[in-house]
Amino acid sequence: MGVKELDVMYQNVIDYSFKQVTTIEQGVDMLEAFDYLAKRDSIRTCVKKKAIEVMNLFITEIDMAKQELDQKKHIPFPFHHGKLSGISIFIRSIIFRLEKFKEKIDKLYFIDDEIKAPAYDKYSITVKQLESRIKEEKLALWKEDNKLYEDPSMLSRAIEAVTILRRPD
């Protein structure tokens, strides 16, 4: 058995292993394991191809997170949170989830930055969009809901209502 045949067998093992990968964490773990064992150029090339697949998995996860937010008409949030703060917390949880995936991919120091660049670009754009959605849209809605308190007469009435409800000391 020649070296070429061993390379083909090793590439088949890599291909078969990546058929079982469904999450970014699994993909990163597999890439780390196979990169450690990749000494020949043909094996390194195969590992780089699989790294592109993991980056595509990350891009898919980013797209799914955006769709999850866009398609939900009723965003679940705990009852003890207000409507707008609950939505903001939900959006923030999506950002945290994406940050966790990015941290996993950051550990792939042996993968070229050109391979990571499209996924990182999409990540940064999406996170900025989500943060601006919290800051601009939800804050504007909150200000609109509380606009009546900007009128001094309404503010004094609101203070009176609160002081009436207050228990005497």
Q: Tell me: the pLDDT tens digits for 129-161?
A: 888 887 777 667 767 777 766 666 665 666 665
Mean predicted confidence (pLDDT) in 47-66: 93
113 with 36: CB under 8 angstroms?
Answer: no
Q: pTM of this prediction? A: 0.75
**Tell me, what's the pLDDT at 59?**
95
Task: Please give the Cα distance from 104 to 6 (Å, whole number).
Answer: 31
90 with 77: CB under 8 angstroms?
Answer: yes
**Tell me, what's the pLDDT at 135?**
76
**C-alpha closest to that of 48 among 110, 104, 119:** 110
**Tell me, what's the pLDDT at 169?**
46
CB contact burial 6-33 (16+ within 10 A = b; e otherwise): eeeebbeebeeebeebeebebbbebbee
pLDDT in tens, 71-107: 766 666 666 666 667 777 888 889 999 999 999 999 8
pLDDT in tens, 1-40: 688 888 888 889 998 989 989 999 999 999 998 888 888 8
> Nearest 5°: phi and psi at 89?
-65, -40
Task: Please give the Cα distance from 162 to 89 (Å, whole number).
Answer: 28
**C-alpha closest to that of 110 among 18, 31, 13, 17:** 31
Token pair 């601006």 in the structure block, residue: 132
